[in-house]
Amino acid sequence: MKTRTSTILWCFFLGAFGAHKFYLGQTGWGVLYLLFCWTGIPSIAAFIEFIMLLVMSDEEFNRKFNAGATQATASVKDSTTALADLKKLYDDGVITAEEYEEKRKKLLKNI
């Protein structure tokens, strides 16, 4: 999982060479920064990105660059809630033991 602080540091110190782009997994942009680093244009772009990263919230950073990790966490929370609801249905006698086990295995498989 990528962190906003690390990205900011990469951008500030080695942004002209595209280090922050490589860190974020944007290798195409990283190579482009490397190819044109001698022109100074990537330095200007990296400085602008540095400012944008400073004012960006952690939630927005995670949504843009850590989408998979956020979805996995949400999936686990949803599955945990569903398991608790399923257990309550079983304890209340609404579903049978076989139905409970079948649905529980299916939920655990999705995690």
Banded model confidence at residue 3, pLDDT cuts 50, 70, 90: very high
Residue 39 DSSP class = G
Give the separation between CA 86 and CA 96, rounded to whole angstroms. Answer: 11
Same domain, yes or no: 48 and 72 = no
Same domain, yes or no: 8 and 52 = yes
Amino acid identity, residue 107?
L
Same domain, yes or no: 16 and 58 = yes
Same domain, yes or no: 77 and 28 = no
Amino acid identity, residue 94?
V
Same domain, yes or no: 22 and 34 = yes
Length of the chain measured in residues: 111
Same domain, yes or no: 22 and 33 = yes
Amino acid identity, residue 32?
L
pTM to 2 decimals? 0.62
Domain span at residue 54? 4-65
With a CB cutoff of 8 Å and minimum separation 6, the contacts of 20 are 7, 10, 11, 14, 46, 49
Tokens of 18: 């595209």
Same domain, yes or no: 76 and 101 = yes
Tens digit of each residue's pLDDT (9 = 90 or more) over 56-91: 998 899 889 988 555 555 567 777 888 888 889 989
Residue 38 DSSP class = G
Number of domains composing the chain: 2
Same domain, yes or no: 56 and 12 = yes
Residue 81 DSSP class = H
Tens digit of each residue's pLDDT (9 = 90 or more) over 6-63: 999 999 999 999 999 999 999 999 999 999 999 999 999 999 999 999 999 988 998 8
